[in-house]
Every structure is written in structure tokens, then in C-alpha cells.
Amino acid sequence: MKRFWLVLVLVIGLAFAGYQVASANGGPHGGYSATTDACAGCHRAHTASGAQLLVASDTYNLCMTCHGASGTGADTDVENGYYLSTRNASSAVGEVNTPDNSPLLGGGFSFYQGGSVTSKHDAAGTTSAAWGNGVARGTTGALTDGNLTCASCHDPHGSNNYRIIKETINGVTVSVAQVDEGAAKDYDTEQWGTGMSSVCAACHNDYHKIAAGQGSTLDGTTYTHRVDMSYAYGSNANPETVGFGSLTLPLAESGTNDTVVCQTCHLPHGTSATMSGFASNAGPAASSALLRLDNRGVCEVCHQK
Ligand code: HEC
Ligand code: HEC
Ligand code: HEC
Ligand code: HEC
Ligand code: HEC
Ligand code: HEC
């Protein structure tokens, strides 16, 4: 009898441990019940239009039926890079914290902050290799999961990470805590923890140098800026609270809210920042490199030389 109860407690415990957090307010991403209707929003058993039994031709087009510029099923328009509550009666599901037309935190795939996108992650399923993926920085290595799509980074079925970021990306375990966010999401205030660098490092591992001194240590054949440390160095300004003029950069919320991560300088979707002069041809990509600010605004917000 004792054993029966022990087993029962274990089974209940496991059931809860395996339960996926319902991450998207009113969205079809996770927290499913045994008789959920959600699968039918994206899959057909016999009459699918795309591989993986998708109702659209591919993953990118499926996501865009709701999150695209002409989508109607989600308030977050990742193509134009802004939030529109009118699309999905969002106030009914608690998304009351984000004002209409706020720029989204991820950037945009076509437009951002009113400007055309100048560089982006090509999530349409046509790009197969990433900078520093198992190879040296400045060269590209093939992804293990196939070409880059929205589902390379997000799990449409929900996850325990911030913004349903996949728990395994490109074969690497990724953990991004969601901090200080209530049941209603803020799509205009970043709420990620220090694990945000692990998302980028999953595909660009050679850029992820965190040890003290690595800013000045020859690593392979080139040097690289350190990440995952405090912003404090010399007479640096706090980029999040002080910044430079009206420009600021976000730091990871590690409790002290002071940590520099990849997303401090870069946007994950796409940017409309423009590059000129010395900045126009920098880096092997010679592009705006998903940077948050024009030219080298990112350097000055911290260093203020
Ligand atoms: C928001 C859209 C969406 C919903 C809702 C959805 N799926 Fe999926 N599903 C996808 C996409 C997109 C893929 C392909 C992912 C990729 O490209 O790697 C997929 C892949 C799958 C796969 C194969 C890969 C894997 O993860 O094992 C299975 C099985 C699956 N879905 C089952 C389900 C079931 C069951 C439901 C309902 C509980 C469901 N899906 C709900 C979008 C969705
Ligand atoms: C390289 C990884 C990556 C790819 C590819 C990617 N995302 Fe994201 N996405 C992120 C990250 C990281 C965030 C969190 C941004 C933040 O809060 O700072 C995010 C945020 C979001 C959000 C919340 C709104 C926002 O912008 O903050 C939505 C919706 C979203 N992504 C949908 C998509 C769709 C649809 C695609 C494909 C067209 C896609 N993502 C491709 C990494 C990615
Ligand atoms: C049937 C409509 C629909 C489809 C298809 C869909 N989504 Fe969503 N998604 C939503 C809704 C609704 C939300 C809630 C937020 C909002 O209104 O934008 C959401 C939220 C999200 C979020 C934010 C989660 C969070 O924690 O706040 C991400 C990221 C996301 N979707 C990615 C995707 C990706 C990637 C795909 C394609 C694989 C996809 N979605 C397909 C409707 C959809
Ligand atoms: C699933 C794999 C994957 C993840 C995760 C990922 N990337 Fe990428 N990234 C790529 C691929 C593939 C390319 C090259 C093709 C392209 O430009 O989209 C790329 C290109 C880039 C570029 C060059 C863009 C240009 O055209 O100038 C930058 C910068 C970048 N990534 C930064 C990041 C940052 C920052 C993160 C984390 C927020 C991240 N990446 C996460 C796969 C990934
Ligand atoms: C978010 C704040 C922040 C931003 C943005 C930033 N830096 Fe730094 N930088 C730091 C910190 C902190 C250090 C000290 C790192 C360490 O502890 O090794 C540093 C170190 C340096 C160093 C010294 C490296 C060494 O060898 O000791 C140089 C040079 C530098 N940064 C240049 C730049 C340039 C150029 C940019 C723009 C591309 C930039 N930084 C953007 C915070 C920042
Ligand atoms: C301090 C700001 C800053 C941080 C933090 C930062 N980057 Fe960058 N990144 C840049 C700049 C500036 C460029 C443009 C090229 C250059 O100056 O090297 C760039 C370019 C890139 C590129 C394009 C290829 C190339 O080498 O030019 C990739 C990929 C990239 N970064 C990935 C990452 C990843 C992954 C992280 C976190 C591990 C990260 N970056 C952190 C500023 C930053």
C-alpha cells in the first residue's frame, strides 16, 4: 500500500514536471489540454499544404499567416516590427501592457521603427550556415537542424524559456529565464535574463567569449569583445539608465541588471540601423549586422569616448 502511494505521488509529480508552461497569452503555443483544438490551427492530418503536415507551404509562411504584415491572428507583427492590439482582441487575453505601434523587442523582418530593414536573420528557410558555428569567427559553418527558419529559434508548441525560445537550438541546450514579467506580457520592455547570450551562442559559438581578459587575448587568429560581464569598465556609463543623449542599450536582468549580452548590441530579428563611413564595410558580413543603433552608436552608449 505504501508503495502504491509512493508511485502515485511520483506519477503526479512527473505529470506536473512535464507540463509545458502556457507561454503565449491567447496564442496557440503550448499549455495544451488533452482535447485541445490548437493542433488544427497549424496542422492537417491528410490535406496539409506543407511538410510536417503544416497548413501553410512552410514554417515561415505559417508563422506569417498570424505574425506577418497582413496576418490577423496575432498582435505582434514581426514583419513591420510593431504591436497592434486591434488584430486579436488582445485586451481580452491580458496583453494590456503594450501600447499600440510600439516597436517590438526582436526588431522587424521588413521594417523597424519606420525604416526599411538593412540586415536580418533570413528566417525564410533558405540559409544553411552561420558565422562562427563550429568554425572560427568570420567564417560560416552549416547548421545541424537544416536551414534557418522561425522554428530554428522558437518552439511553436511552447517551451519553458522566455518567448517560447527552443530548449535545444542547433543541438545545443539553451536556457533563457523570463524575469519580472507578470501574466500579461510587455512586448515593449525586455524581460530576459543573462541566458540570452546562450541563444546566440547556440549557432555562433565562437563569438561567445566570456572569460576575463578575453577582450585582450588573442583567440584563434582574431580578438573579440568580451560578453556576459558587467557593463562597468573604466568610466563607462550605464547603457540602460544613463546612455548617451537619447540612446540606450538593454542589459540582461541578472538581479543587479548590469550584464552585457549579445542582445545588448544586436537585435534577433532584423534592424533598420544604417551604416556609413568606416562602419559601412566593417566585419566579414559588411552590413548593419543586426546592430541596434546607427554606425557605432553601440560603442558610444557605453564607452563615451
Ligand atoms: C502555431 C502553429 C502550431 C501549432 C498550434 C502546433 N504545431 Fe506542431 N508544428 C508546427 C511547426 C511550424 C512544425 C515544424 C517545426 C519545424 O519547422 O521544425 C511542427 C511540427 C510538429 C511535429 C513534428 C516535429 C516535432 O516537434 O515533433 C509534431 C509531431 C507536431 N508538430 C505535433 C503537433 C500537435 C500534436 C499539436 C497540437 C497539440 C501541434 N503540433 C500544434 C506548428 C504548430
Ligand atoms: C535567431 C533566432 C530567432 C529567429 C530566427 C526568430 N526569432 Fe523571434 N525572437 C527571438 C528572440 C531572441 C526574441 C526575444 C526578443 C526580446 O524580447 O528581446 C524573439 C521574439 C519574438 C516575438 C515576440 C515579439 C518581439 O519581437 O519581441 C515573436 C512574435 C517572434 N519572435 C516571432 C518570430 C517569427 C514569426 C519568426 C520567423 C519569421 C522569428 N520569430 C524568428 C529569436 C528569433
Ligand atoms: C494561428 C495564429 C498563430 C500562428 C500560426 C503562429 N502564432 Fe505565434 N502567437 C500567436 C498569438 C495570438 C500570440 C500571442 C501574442 C500576440 O497576440 O501576438 C503568439 C505569440 C508568439 C510568440 C511570443 C510568445 C510569448 O512568450 O509571448 C512567439 C515567439 C511566437 N508566437 C512565435 C511563432 C512562430 C515562430 C510561429 C510559426 C512557427 C507562430 N508563432 C505561429 C498566434 C500565432
Ligand atoms: C538557429 C541558428 C542561429 C541563432 C540561434 C542565431 N543566429 Fe545569427 N545567424 C544565423 C545564420 C544562419 C546567419 C547567416 C545568414 C543570415 O544572415 O541570416 C546569421 C547571421 C547573423 C549575423 C549577421 C547578419 C548580417 O547579415 O549582417 C549576426 C550579427 C547574427 N547572426 C547575430 C546573432 C545574434 C545576436 C543572435 C542571438 C540573438 C543570433 N545571431 C542567433 C543563425 C543563427
Ligand atoms: C554594454 C557596454 C559596452 C558596449 C556596448 C561596448 N563595450 Fe567595449 N567594453 C565594455 C566592457 C565592460 C569592457 C571590459 C571587458 C572586460 O572586462 O574584459 C569593454 C572593453 C573594451 C575594449 C578593451 C578590450 C581589451 O583588450 O581590454 C575595447 C577596445 C572596447 N571595449 C571597444 C568597444 C567597441 C569598439 C565597441 C562597439 C563595437 C564597444 N566596445 C561596445 C563595455 C561595452
Ligand atoms: C559590444 C557590442 C557587441 C556585442 C556585445 C556583440 N556584438 Fe556581434 N557585432 C558587433 C559589431 C559592431 C559587429 C559588426 C562587425 C564588427 O565590428 O566586427 C558585430 C558583428 C557580428 C556578427 C556578424 C559577423 C561578423 O563577424 O561581422 C555576428 C555573427 C555577431 N556579431 C554575433 C555576436 C554574438 C553571437 C554575440 C554574443 C556572443 C555578439 N555578437 C555580441 C557588436 C557586438
Contact 279 CB / ligand 3 (< 6 Å): no
Distance CA 261, CA 211 (A): 13
Of ligand 5's listed atoms, the one at least distance from the Cα of 299 is: 37
Percent of the chain with pLDDT over 70: 87
Report, as an integer, the average pLDDT of 258-265: 95
C-alpha 84/C-alpha 100 separation (Å) is 5
- When comparing pLDDT for 7 and 241, which is higher? 241
Name the one residue in this structure whose C-alpha cell is 506519477. Answer: 11
Looking at residue 184, its pLDDT comes to: 73
| All three cell numbers of 65 | 499567416
Q: Is the pLDDT of residue 24 over 70?
A: no
Contact 128, 147 (CB under 8 A): yes
What cell numbers appear for 279 in the block? 562602419
**What's the CA gap between 104 and 87, in Å, rounded?**
15
Query: What value does the mean pLDDT take over residues 194-216?
Result: 92
In sequence order, the 6+-apart residues with CB closer than 8 A to the CB of 151 are 59, 63, 166
Question: What average pLDDT score do residues 278-297 get?
Answer: 95
More confident residue, 96 or 19: 96
Tens digits of residue pLDDT in 119-178? 999 999 999 999 999 999 999 999 999 999 999 999 999 999 999 999 999 999 999 998
Residues with CB under 6 A from ligand 6: 131, 137-138, 197, 200-201, 204, 207-208, 225, 227, 260, 262, 264-266, 282-285, 289, 291, 298
Question: By the 8 A CB rule, do 96 and 81 touch?
Answer: no
Q: Grid coordinates standing for 272?
A: 533598420
Q: Which of 194, 202, 195, 192 is nearest to 169 (CA)?
A: 202
Nearest C-alpha to atom 25 of ligand 3 is from which residue? 163
Place 94 in a pLDDT band, splitting at 50, 70 and 90. low
Residue 255: its pLDDT value, please? Answer: 63
Cβ-contact 112, 271 below 8 angstroms: yes
At 18, is the pLDDT very low, low, confident or very high (cuts 50, 70, 90)? very low
Is the model's pLDDT at 25 over the cut of 50?
A: no
Least confident interval from 74-78, 161-165, 251-255: 251-255
